Each structure stands twice: as structure tokens, then as C-alpha cells.
A and B are shown apart, each in its own frame.
Chain A
Amino acid sequence: MTGTEPATTEARTVTLTYREAMRDALRRALADEPVFLIGEDVGQYGGAFGVTLGLLEEFGPERVIDTPLSESGFVGAGIGAALGGTLPIVEVMTVNFSLLALDQILNNAATLSHMSGGRLHVPLVIRMTTGAGRQLAAQHSHSLEGWYAHIPGLRILAPATVEDARGMLAPALADPDPVLIFEHGSLYNDKATLPATPVPVSIDTAAIRRPGTDATVIGYGGTLATALSAADQLATEGIQAEVIDLRSLRPLDDATIMESVSRTHRAVIVDEGWRSGSLAAEISARITEQAFYDLDAPVERVCSAEVPMPYARHLEQAALPRPSDVAASVRRTVN
């Protein structure tokens, strides 16, 4: 194709995996100097999940910094670097490992602004994987983003689509407060065709991914696919489930949830976290508080079984929310 030919439709779109979309977002972010990437194996190795592959070659070791296995140390250093006027993107391999940095995230990143009376701000992004489904057993598979969503001072994002994986990083970096992005490990190979130039996405609002009239199914991150799959199944039975993708777990977009529930009169929440004290529990409580009189059935929750995630595939699958579980819940609320 020569430069004089008009761009074809093909040229204006691009097919990316979730992994490539995230990498594209990182590459665009790194084009700005104050931004740098820091984390375990983000450089030479290319990222534990291959997200940062090639970025070291492109931007050099000053911009893509490999760290030792010192989660508290390098996450805290990211917080300090943000205080000092730079914009770090910190990658922690998994949410399980982030617990070693929980002190820094909670006691410093989330609290410094308030504790200093607004004198200090911590503008940084911390990315990590979350979730099960790859037989990685109990120390690499948990969904703890709901714990982080408990903490005031943080913004918690969970991109569930390739488009959100590409689009959420820029607004997260523009946010003057700490933002945690949770990438579900089973999404990295998902593919989508997108406009070649990224369209800005919201990090404030939930999205209705499938409109429906009979029940509202609420998912996020890795559970969006579960919810959509259940909705497909239900549609064959004549039940039209509306599927909401939360996208932001803190703040929660109450308005979108309540508006949907006020139309469908039923709500089912799909959450890969444990049921007790879960994000699903919080959403259920909010629906009860704000939309009780619109409900025609009790709010249902489909969560992970209350066990540390097992290794064996059949046990792991049994522990996770399955589309059939979601469909059964929706049927209960409809009937």
C-alpha cells in the first residue's frame, strides 16, 4: 500500500490479545518521560505473563526497571518515587505476592494524602494479576481485589475486555491518586478487533455489556465472561439477562447498578472472591439499601467456594463460579 491510497477499514483497526492491548497501553504511557515501569522480571524476562515483552529493548533499563523479589521494598519505592514527582507503573506478579507489600499500599499509598491533610499525593499505578483457572493452586490463584476495594484512598480497576485493558492505563496514570489495576490471568489470550487508535475509556463507570429485561447479572474482570456465557444459555430459554461489567471496583458505580435493577427487578452478582465479606456482599447490601422496593426476588450471589483454591482441575473448576451456577441463580430469581 502506498501513502496515497485511502486507508482501508482493515488499516484502521487492529486485532490484539488482552496481553498485547496492555502492552500497547504501557508503550504509549512510556512515551512520556516521567513515566517508568518497575517490577519483578518486567525487563529482561518480559514480564511473568509476557505483558512487558520488548519494552526493555525499546525504552532501556532506565525506563523499564527489573527489581529483586522485594515486594514491600519496590512497591514502597514506587510510592516514594510518586511523592518525589515521577509517575511509576509498578508491576507485582500476582495479588498473592502483593500481600507482602500490603503495608506500603495501605499504610502509605492509601493514607498519606489524608494523613497529611492533603499536602502529599501519591500518583502511581500498581498492576497485578488475579484470579484462578490455571491450576496454580492456593498461593497463585486468589481473587483479593475485593480486599483492596475495601480501602479508601485507592482506586481499583478490573479491565474485563481487551478494549479496557488498552484504555484504562492512561486515565489511571492521569489520576492523582494511587490506582490498582487487576488483570485476570485467564484473560491474557482473549482477542478483539479494536480501532487502531485507542478510544478513551471510563475508569468511573460500569458498562452494560449485554442489555436485557429479566434480571441483572453483575460481574467484573474474569467473571464477566462467566456472566455473559450464562446470559447466552438463559437466552435460549427465553430469559433475557442484562449483564453489567463493573470495571471500577472502587468507586462502585451505584447509579448504573440501581438503574438496571430498577428495570429488571432481579440481581445476581458473580464474584470470584470468597463469599464471606466479599465485594459481592457489598454490592448486595447496596442494592438492598438503594433499590429494595424495586426487587421482586432476593439478591443472589455466585462466588468462589470457601476453600483455598485447589490444584486439581476438577476441584478448581468446582470452586469457581460457573456459568451454570449463574444461570441457576438467575432462574431462581425469575421464577
Chain B
Amino acid sequence: MLRIRRFEERCAELYSATKIRGFVHLCIGEEAVAVGVHKALADDDAVVSTYREHGHALAKGITMDAVMAEMYGKATGCSHGRGGSMHLFDRDARFYGGNAIVGGGLPLAVGLALADTRLGRRQVTACFFGDGAVAEGEFHESLNLAALWRLPVLFCCENNQYAMGTPLRREHANTDLGARAVGYGMRSMEVDGMDVLAVEAAAHEAVAHIGRHREPVFLELRTYRFRAHSMYDPDRYRDKTEIESWKRRDPIPALAASLRATADLSDSDMDKMESEVTAEIDGAVAAAEAAPVEPESELTRHVYTERA
């Protein structure tokens, strides 16, 4: 969580310094969701994500160097500079984006789980999406298909209370999002997304349920982003007291406090972690700064698959 938090804080600085451009959506405040869910996944499980995916990508094991270089639009980026912040991919890590169409990744997750099932593999596909995606038709089509075909999909709804600038109560006739999944005959679990241990426990249980019953599970993770929707967003739609009240539930100090209470974590441990993370980020930034850009002559590559 600390690694994701500090990485994104640096991204915000680099954005202000115009080193990173385009749309940048930070998940600061939502780290417990990314880390907790990934703790319950195996390395070869598939993950489908959204445009707010830096945390998911880092938790899935894409190197920080590859992610940072992608933010810089460099040739060494995980998408060779063609994706940017919103489109991180790594086939070896089974990380399938990085989808910037709200709800667009859900059918892909259904398909990945379908492929695993057809090929006799036991993997799970975790699909992250926000509360805004629940209003899209693709959400409903995908949940129906996954339940109908009993596919191993873990639907992870990051309910951060806002679809861009529109609060939950103004985007959904029924704000109980899990009720939608129940409507498709699917098991639904509601979790405190600010508590990484709770997220991990729920995700473990969900993955075990998927393995046991060969059917999808819907996980609603109640969370909050401390920053605006994107770096472009002046955030005029949220009450400052609401933001402050959620910040008091910051998942990182909360975990640190509970670990300190059980004496599993000392101040020097924290300092050590901070300095390790800083060194990793410094290294990623330095590598991205020094990395070559993809030459313009390569512009039209990768539109179609290159034949050997």
C-alpha cells in the first residue's frame, strides 16, 4: 500500500511538472482494495482493470520501472508508450488492462474466464470496476453471462461513491449495488474497502467459493478516493468534511497502528519501508527519464500482429 501511495504521489508531482501528461487517475485512498484483492490471487490468475489501475498493476507484479516509463510515454514502458496511464498491460503477468471505457473490461473478464474454463485451467479472473460501471449495460450483460455459464470471475466493484463527479445516490435508483449481483443469482459480499485485512479475508473467501462452486462472486468494496477523479478535475462536487472524514480512515496508518499495537511493526521498520519505496521510485523515475522514446518510424507497429 505504501509503495502504491508513494508512487502515485510522485506521479502527481511529475504531472504538475509536465513530465507525465494525458489523463491520470490516482487511486490514493483506495490502496487497500488493490492490495487486499491481489493478496488473495495467485500469480497466474488474470486481472482486468480500469483507467484507475496503477495500484492494480503494481500489485499484480508489473515492475515500477515499466509502469513509470509508460507514464512517461517511453519505449521501455509496459505498453511501449502507446498506452499511458490508462492502458497498462502485461500478458506475462496476465494483466489485461487498463480499460478506459467504463464497463468495457467486464465482458473481457467473462471471456478470459471462459478461456480458462475451456482449457481446463483452474485460474480465477478478477475484474475491477467502479460504481459508475454498474449503470452500464455491459455490467448487466457480463454478470448474467458469468452466472449463466458458471465462470470463475471475481467481480470487484470499487465503490468509491462517485462516478466521476456524480454521487452514488444520483447515479443509481437502488444504491445497494450488491443487490444487482444477487439479482443474477450470484453470491455478493460487502466489504470495508479501507481495511486491507478485511479485503484480503473477503477476497480469499470469494476465491475459495469460486474454486469450490465454479461460479462467479461479486465483491463490493466500499472505498473512497482522497483525490479528485483525475488530475484535470477541480473536485467541486465533494464536501470537504466528507473527504476529511474518509481520510481519517486512511488504510495505511490504520494498518500501521494495528501492527504497532501487536508489536509487529516498529518505527524503524516503517522508516526502512519508506526509504526502500523512495529508492524504488527514484530508480523508476531516473530510468524513465533516461529511457529512449519510441521512434516515430515505429508509429504504425502493433496495429496488426507482426509475423515472424
Give the interface of A toward B (CB within 8 A): 36, 62, 67-68, 70, 72-86, 88, 103-104, 107-108, 112-121, 123, 152-153, 155, 176-177
Distance of A103 from chain B, by nearest CB (Å): 6
* A/B interface sample: 17 pairs, CB < 8 A: A68-B144, A73-B145, A76-B108, A77-B145, A80-B111, A80-B113, A81-B112, A83-B112, A84-B114, A85-B119, A103-B104, A107-B104, A115-B97, A116-B91, A117-B83, A118-B305, A120-B89
Which B residues form the contact surface with A (CB < 8 A)? 46, 48, 77-83, 87, 89-91, 96-99, 101, 104, 106-116, 118-119, 137-138, 141-142, 144-145, 148, 301-307
Which chain A residues border B107 with CB–CB below 8 Å?
72-77, 79-80, 104
Contact flag A77-B114 (CB < 8 Å), given A119-B79, A177-B305: yes
> Chain A residues near B77 (CB, 8 Å)?
117
CB contact under 8 A between A79 and B118, given known A103-B101, A121-B305: no
Q: Tell me how far the C-beta of B188 lies from the nearest C-beta in chain A, rounded to whole angstroms.
A: 19
B46, A73: Cβ atoms closer than 8 Å: no
C-alpha gap A98/B112 in the complex (Å): 21
Interface centre among B99, B142, B148 (most CB of A within 10 A): B142
Beyond A74-B141, A84-B119, A176-B304: 16 further Cβ-contacts under 8 Å?
A: A36-B118, A70-B141, A72-B137, A74-B145, A76-B138, A76-B142, A83-B112, A86-B115, A88-B111, A116-B87, A118-B301, A118-B302, A118-B306, A119-B90, A123-B305, A155-B304
- Please, which residues of chain A bring their CB within 8 A of the CB of B90? 119
Closest to A118 in B: B302
**Are B79 and A83 within 8 A (Cβ)?**
no
Chain B facing A: main interface SS: mixed
Instruction: Tell me the bound Cα distance from A113 to B303 in angstroms.
Output: 6
**In the complex, number of A-B residue pairs with CB atoms less than 8 Å apart:** 153
Min CB–CB distance B68 → chain A (angstroms): 15
Pair B83/A107 contact, Cβ less than 8 Å: no
User: Do A76 and B305 touch across chains, with their CB atoms under 8 A apart?
Assistant: no
A115 near B111 with CB under 8 A, answer no
Selected from B46, B115, B141, B302, the residue in CB contact (under 8 A) with A113 is B302
Q: B76 to chain A: closest CB distance in Å?
A: 10
Check if A116 sits within 8 Å of B89, measured CB to CB: yes
Contact B89 A73 (CB under 8 A): no
- B88 CB → nearest A CB, Å: 9
Task: Flag if B304 contacts A120 (CB, 8 Å).
Answer: no
Query: CB-CB < 8 A to A76: which residues of B?
Result: 104, 106-108, 110-111, 138, 141-142
Across the interface, which residues of A come within 8 angstroms of B114, CB to CB? 77, 80-81, 84, 86
**Contact between B108 and A120, CB atoms less than 8 A apart:** no
